[in-house]
Chains A and B, each alone.
Chain A
Amino acid sequence: MASLKDLRARIGSVKSTRKITSAMKMVAAAKLRRAQTRAEAARPYAAAMRRMLAELGAGTRGQSGLPTLLAGTGNDRIHLLIPLTSDRGLAGGFNANINRKTRDLIRQLQAEGKTVRLLPVGRKGHDYLMREFSDLIVDHVHGSGGKEIPFSAAATLGERIAAMAEKGEFDVCTVVYNRFQNVMSQTPTEMQLIPLALPANDTAASADAPVYEFEPGEEELLSSLLPRNLQVQLYATLLESAAGEQGARMTAMDNATRNAGKAIDRLTLKYNRTRQTNITNELIEIISGAQAL
């Protein structure tokens, strides 16, 4: 049976753990709010870009000789996967979900006889994939480091991917990331970046839709919009993933705080019972000692 001193020490240590987890929860809550605002602030740009792409894409549908970023290489042989994870742990199943999904996807693609390449973003995903698939990793980017994500980070990553696409280093590019549903739940989602699925254009279909003029030309516009769109999409997923990370951490730390509270209650009860037993035992010893005289 644990001595009173042991129990006191354990209660003390669980209490300090609870302090840490509740502090982490509050930090995550504050960061989550900021991450959500940023994700919302980035939406108008992405929406306007989609509108322009839909307009431009309507005219090019079915043509040949389209840019690689739009139409891909025409093959479906080499797949580039980009799993987005965080740099830091203690966020519940946030990273594990992405890692599992990525692993399943790799196995599935390999079973179909396709070549897989990996470009993990974030330390946690990289560490995990290094163990099993180190020969597939072309490069890695260590994520945002928990700080705010500048657009330039997404821009650099987008330029890399665009350059690889131009050189024909892969045929299909897919991002695996945690889609932010709400604070409690993030869904691991895969999104194909290249070839691009053009948004349907509903305005061009109607007869009275205005006819656009393009300057310089349609092709030039499209060829500068596409890399930009890639960066914007990446940026959006990075922001969603960052918001999801904070949400997951907040939920995980909330649970941890609650569990610590329960553990403290249980230990305190045990401590009090042990103390009571000790007192009773001492009394019995004293009384029986006195009776023996």
Chain B
Amino acid sequence: MPIEVEIVSPEKVLFSRAVEMAVIPGLEGDIAAMPDRAPMMLLLRGGVVELYENGAVTDRFFVAGGFADMTATRCTILADQAIALADLSVADAEKRLAGLEASYDAADKMDVPALDLLMAKMQSARAEIEAAGGEAVKAA
């Protein structure tokens, strides 16, 4: 029995199909969404969502943080930003990371919430570089 997976960004629906399993980058570790699991809501970190069909990965999407809402039959991923892995650009992400690191250094070290936010953004940019780089190597 498959599970309905939806990947939604604020601007549009990127993916909506029934698959066998979806592996989601949760804040506290990867989680697999499969049919008949207990309902769960989780925060996402920047990372790659992998969709499995017949025991193999069919699609990969990079998500830059967000939320996921899983029930027994359905899994909705609310991504802050979602990009198909093939469309990622290492150069873009590296530029963004450099900018973030600069603002992190410049930031007020007492302002903990702001620092946390910057940390999360940096983590997401690093994950993006890794995801883009991984794909590039595989393609070569």
- Check if A and B associate: yes
Which of A48, A211, A216 has most B Cβ within 10 Å?
Answer: A48
User: When chains A and B are docked, how far (Å) is the Cα of A49 from the Cα of B69?
Assistant: 9
A215 B27 Cβ-Cβ under 8 A = yes
Q: CB-CB contacts of B1-31 with A at 8 A, as 1s and 0s?
A: 0000010111111000000000000111001
* A41 and B43 in contact, given A221-B67, A225-B67 (Cβ under 8 angstroms): no
B41 A55 Cβ-Cβ under 8 A = yes
A44 B6 Cβ-Cβ under 8 A = yes
Interface residues on A, range: 20 to 34
Name the residue of chain B whose CB is nearest to the CB of A217. B43
- For chains A and B in complex, what number of residue pairs have CB atoms within 8 angstroms? 77
Does A224 touch B at the CB level, under 8 Å?
A: yes
Residues of B contacting A42 in the complex (Cβ-Cβ under 8 angstroms): 10-12
The distance from the CB of A177 to the nearest CB of chain B, in whole angstroms, is: 17
User: When chains A and B are docked, how far (Å) is the Cα of A151 from the Cα of B11?
Assistant: 7
B12 A215 Cβ-Cβ under 8 A = no
B78 A212 Cβ-Cβ under 8 A = no
A38 B71 Cβ-Cβ under 8 A = no
* A56 and B27 in contact, given A48-B8, A48-B76 (Cβ under 8 angstroms): no
B8 A44 Cβ-Cβ under 8 A = yes
**A21-74 residues at the B interface, CB under 8 angstroms:** 38, 41-42, 44-45, 48-49, 51-52, 55-56
Choice from A45, A49, A215 contacting B43 with Cβ under 8 Å: A215
The distance from the CB of B24 to the nearest CB of chain A, in whole angstroms, is: 11
* A45 and B10 in contact, given A52-B67, A56-B41, A210-B39 (Cβ under 8 angstroms): yes
Q: CB-CB contacts of B22-66 with A at 8 A, as 1s and 0s?
A: 000011100100000011111100000000000000000000000
User: When chains A and B are docked, how far (Å) is the Cα of A154 from the Cα of B10?
Assistant: 10
User: When chains A and B are docked, how far (Å) is the Cα of A219 from the Cα of B27?
Assistant: 14
Does A208 touch B at the CB level, under 8 Å?
A: no
Residues of B contacting A44 in the complex (Cβ-Cβ under 8 angstroms): 6, 8, 13
Name the residue of chain A whose CB is nearest to the CB of B12. A41
Does B119 touch A at the CB level, under 8 Å?
A: no
**A133-189 residues at the B interface, CB under 8 angstroms:** 151, 154
Does A235 touch B at the CB level, under 8 Å?
A: yes
B38 A49 Cβ-Cβ under 8 A = no
* A41 and B13 in contact, given A213-B41, A215-B27, A220-B43 (Cβ under 8 angstroms): yes
Choice from A45, A154, A210 contacting B78 with Cβ under 8 Å: A45
User: When chains A and B are docked, how far (Å) is the Cα of A216 from the Cα of B26?
Assistant: 9
Does B91 touch A at the CB level, under 8 Å?
A: no
Name the residue of chain B whose CB is nearest to the CB of A148. B11
* A212 and B10 in contact, given A51-B69, A52-B78, A225-B67 (Cβ under 8 angstroms): no
Nearest 10 A-B pairs (CB), nearest first?
A215-B42, A41-B12, A210-B39, A213-B40, A151-B10, A45-B8, A212-B39, A48-B76, A45-B10, A44-B13
Interchain residue pairs with CB less than 8 A apart (12): A41-B13, A51-B76, A52-B41, A56-B41, A210-B38, A210-B71, A213-B38, A215-B40, A221-B41, A221-B42, A231-B10, A232-B10
Interface positions of B (Cβ within 8 A of A): 6, 8-13, 26-28, 31, 38-43, 67, 69, 71-72, 76, 78, 80
Q: A48-B8, A52-B41 provided; 18 other pairs, C-beta below 8 A?
A: A45-B9, A45-B78, A49-B78, A52-B78, A55-B41, A55-B69, A56-B41, A210-B38, A214-B42, A215-B31, A215-B40, A215-B41, A216-B43, A220-B43, A221-B43, A225-B67, A232-B10, A235-B10
